Chain A
């Protein structure tokens, strides 16, 4: 656009948009998507996890004697399970929003092809798409943390805020990596595989429901290698109020690295897929 005074000379030569401009131009599109889908999102984003909290945290957790030493510092099972649940919930939303919708935009609705016939580039499409997914993740986790706050499961007032940022980071890592996976996929059968062999085992064994030390030494180390464990651990440390800052750095580095790698793979894979 001629009015875009911030465009540098180098960008003008190629006509490429700045990342911000690229996303801004798709704002109206994603707003219509949100208007169309928010109702379904309310059920999957808020209601389902609330049922989990009631069933697992309150009802099942009522049978569990809270020994803070064995629950990574949490004073009750509810306080233990909530940060893990929200982190794994962040993963679930990120994964489901980056699977079928990506394939749809390539194969069924061909949205990406239509968008690419404009000044938008593959990079811009990935940015806006991930941006939308992250809006879903961030809003769902925020509402969830707010709803749970009055129940006295958080040790400090600032812990939950940092925990929320940890959950957002989990969302970023999974959204970009799964986008990269989906962009290569020719048929939706691969998604069943991803959910059965990826999402479900991660949810169950990444320390969301029980401390990974219960797994025994070998499995515990495997669990430590999974991206979700880093998010769960981060989220829980902040909520419970027992923060090991060296561990925080490790978790953040891992999740940020995964996000950056995932983003590059997502752009590369989508570029190859759409370039026929």
Chain B
């Protein structure tokens, strides 16, 4: 579906994407995980065939965006990071008008619009103004709009940024249903839980480059331990205490507010720490996540 070789994007002197290789296969949910400014959105815009490639090779659905842009865009669904819904149209018309841009005839457009309102669970809002929708509903409408042309490939740029937890879960459920219906999804996110939930395979991006690639499980296995012991001590003590316990795990990360000790047996770490006469204010043993993978690969957390 997507094949990129040495893909680059630069704006003047600034290189947003510095040569990445990506393969996305039919039917999979593929993720770009990384902090803001990692080059995810620039990559997405190139894939969406609206931003010209600065270097390298890119093929979408077997076509070249430089020469086949309109044909590619006709088969894509794009859910941009910033809502581009038409605030002056009502909810139904946002879908209907958009379908017309794809050359879909009027009757089919109306039918598709009704189906998609159903799918997005906003049928009762069909005649409402877009302005009157909640953030979650707007996102669902944007996703519904991106599906109006029955796309082969759906691009979602930060689909749940800015939504409350409940709205995120509703959206995830919908994306999951799309995935089961066989739609190929490409998702960018800086939420590791989103990437874990939705993506079959993902790349971790940082500073315009790909730091690692694999399924969430593979990445965690390859770059982290099974468990993590989080130890919280008093303010300013973490740096000094790290040296005293660094032999207890495979690796120790010092964060401003806590220490992370990477080990396959988290509880044993906590016991050993207590045995050494140290008294953390709080302890937590958890499984490794993509956040830990990112920390390992870049030395920074995703929120930075």
Q: Which residues does A use to contact B, with CB under 8 Å?
A: 1, 4, 13-17, 21, 25-29, 32-33, 36, 109-111, 113-121, 274-276
Option from B68, B86, B100 in Cβ contact (under 8 Å) with A28: B100
A15-B74 in contact (CB<8A): yes
A276-B51 in contact (CB<8A): yes
Q: Which residues does B use to contact A, with CB under 8 Å?
A: 11, 45, 48, 50-52, 67-74, 76, 78, 80, 82, 84-89, 93, 96-98, 100-103, 106, 149
- A–B complex contacts, Cβ < 8 Å, 20 sampled: A13-B68, A14-B67, A15-B69, A15-B73, A17-B103, A21-B103, A25-B102, A28-B100, A33-B88, A111-B84, A113-B80, A114-B80, A116-B50, A117-B48, A117-B84, A118-B73, A119-B102, A119-B103, A120-B70, A276-B11
Chain A nearest CB from B153 CB (Å) reads 12
Chain B nearest CB from A91 CB (Å) reads 26
Known contacts A26-B100, A117-B78; A275 and B71 CB within 8 A of each other: no
Option from B70, B93, B98, B149 in Cβ contact (under 8 Å) with A114: B98
Option from B72, B74, B84, B88 in Cβ contact (under 8 Å) with A36: B88
Q: In whole angstroms, how far apart are the Cα atoms of A13 and B72 in the complex? A: 11
B93-A32 in contact (CB<8A): yes
B103-A276 in contact (CB<8A): no
Chain B nearest CB from A121 CB (Å) reads 6
Minimum CB distance partner of B155 in chain A: A117
Known contacts A15-B69, A17-B70; A275 and B86 CB within 8 A of each other: no
B69-A14 in contact (CB<8A): yes
Minimum CB distance partner of A21 in chain B: B103
B70-A14 in contact (CB<8A): yes
Q: Which residues of A contact B85 (CB under 8 A)?
A: 114
Chain A nearest CB from B91 CB (Å) reads 13
B89-A121 in contact (CB<8A): no
Minimum CB distance partner of A15 in chain B: B71
Option from B11, B50, B86, B96 in Cβ contact (under 8 Å) with A117: B50
Q: Which residues of A contact B69 (CB under 8 A)?
A: 14-15, 121
| Residue from A13, A115, A118 whose CB has the most chain B CB atoms within 10 Å | A118
Q: In whole angstroms, how far apart are the Cα atoms of A111 and B130 in the complex? A: 14
Known contacts A28-B96, A113-B80, A114-B86; A16 and B101 CB within 8 A of each other: no
Minimum CB distance partner of B83 in chain A: A110
| Residue from A16, A117, A121 whose CB has the most chain B CB atoms within 10 Å | A117
Q: Which residues of A contact B98 (CB under 8 A)?
A: 114, 118
Q: Which residues of A contact B70 (CB under 8 A)?
A: 14-17, 119-121
Q: Which residues of B contact A120 (CB under 8 A)?
A: 70, 101
B84-A114 in contact (CB<8A): yes
Q: Which residues of A contact B100 (CB under 8 A)?
A: 25-29
Q: In whole angstroms, how far apart are the Cα atoms of A109 and B130 in the complex? A: 12
Minimum CB distance partner of B97 in chain A: A29
Known contacts A109-B86, A121-B70; A26 and B101 CB within 8 A of each other: yes
Q: Which residues of B contact A117 (CB under 8 A)?
A: 48, 50, 73, 76, 78, 80, 84
Q: Which residues of B contact A113 (CB under 8 A)?
A: 50, 80, 84
B97-A28 in contact (CB<8A): yes
Known contacts A36-B88, A275-B51; A115 and B101 CB within 8 A of each other: yes
Minimum CB distance partner of A105 in chain B: B86
Q: In whole angstroms, how far apart are the Cα atoms of A114 and B142 in the complex? A: 10
Known contacts A111-B84, A117-B73, A117-B80; A14 and B68 CB within 8 A of each other: yes
Q: In whole angstroms, how far apart are the Cα atoms of A29 and B103 in the complex? A: 13
Q: In whole angstroms, how far apart are the Cα atoms of A119 and B106 in the complex? A: 17
Chain B nearest CB from A212 CB (Å) reads 42
Q: In whole angstroms, how far apart are the Cα atoms of A25 and B100 in the complex? A: 5
Q: In whole angstroms, how far apart are the Cα atoms of A46 and B76 in the complex? A: 44
B78-A32 in contact (CB<8A): no
Q: Which residues of B contact A1 (CB under 8 A)?
A: 103
